Amino acid sequence: MATITGYTPLYHNNETTDSQVSDENDCQRPLKQNKLLRICAYSLLGVVSAVLLLSLGTLAGQRPSSTKEELHCGNSSTEARARGCVFDLLTNNWMPAYCADPYTDAEYREWVLDPKRHLGSWAYFHDEQGKNQVKSEEHLSDMVGQHIYTTTENHLAHCAFLARRMHRLVTGDIAAVAHNTFKHTIHCTSSLLKSFDGWDHEQVIGSTFDVGIVSCVK
């Protein structure tokens, strides 16, 4: 029978020579290497998949929730204190600490306590004539729902420092604000614009407000 070239001859004897073993090992080596590469590839793919799943899970956990939480301070100064709320002199309201800004509140407090104010330091009164002064900030904070009188300059300063607070909100220095509706913004800006036309310095007690309690959304 003619020998067909291009094929390795088959060995029919049962004895295995060294050259045969070497040839078989050479043939099997690529198969073993390919199998090892496949195992490594599958293992690496599994690790990468696990990392991706964990990363997606972490990102999902960090994603802002669509459900917003409204923070409340109760209905009295006693409840507000018990809930960890703070009294904000700038807005004359109890509010959740999350929505407060101690920085602008401190700035306004410094302004109010300055003895150079028209009626001196701490110009808050129970009456329009300015004869019965509110004793202290703590006393003021306990007067929830009551009507208080103050000076026009304190009112305008309230509007100015509140504008600073809104700037801090825009720049991300604070997370949220309370008691600053668009209606209140119109009121404050209108008061500031009106002051440019001149206001009666003799009528120093020209503003009133109610001490209140406000909520905010986190």
Higher pLDDT, 61 or 53: 61
Mean pLDDT, residues 201-208: 67
The dihedrals phi and psi of 182, each to the nearest 5 degrees, come to -65, -35
In a domain, 96, yes or no: yes
Domain range for 105 is 70-217
% of residues, the chain, pLDDT over 90: 52
In a domain, 192, yes or no: yes
Kindly report, residue by residue over 20-46, the tens digit of the pLDDT.
Answer: 444 444 444 444 444 444 444 444 334
**pLDDT above 70: residue 191:** yes
Domains contained in the chain, number: 1
**pLDDT above 50: residue 89:** yes
In a domain, 166, yes or no: yes
Report pLDDT for 155.
Answer: 93
Kindly report, residue by residue over 96-110, the tens digit of the pLDDT.
Answer: 999 999 999 999 999
Mean pLDDT taken over the chain: 76
**pLDDT above 70: residue 161:** yes
Looking at residue 133, the DSSP 8-state letter turns out to be B
In a domain, 109, yes or no: yes
For the chain, percent helix, then strand, then coil, each to nearest 5? 50, 10, 40
In a domain, 112, yes or no: yes
Least confident of 11-15, 117-121, 150-154, 172-176: 11-15
Higher pLDDT, 18 or 91: 91
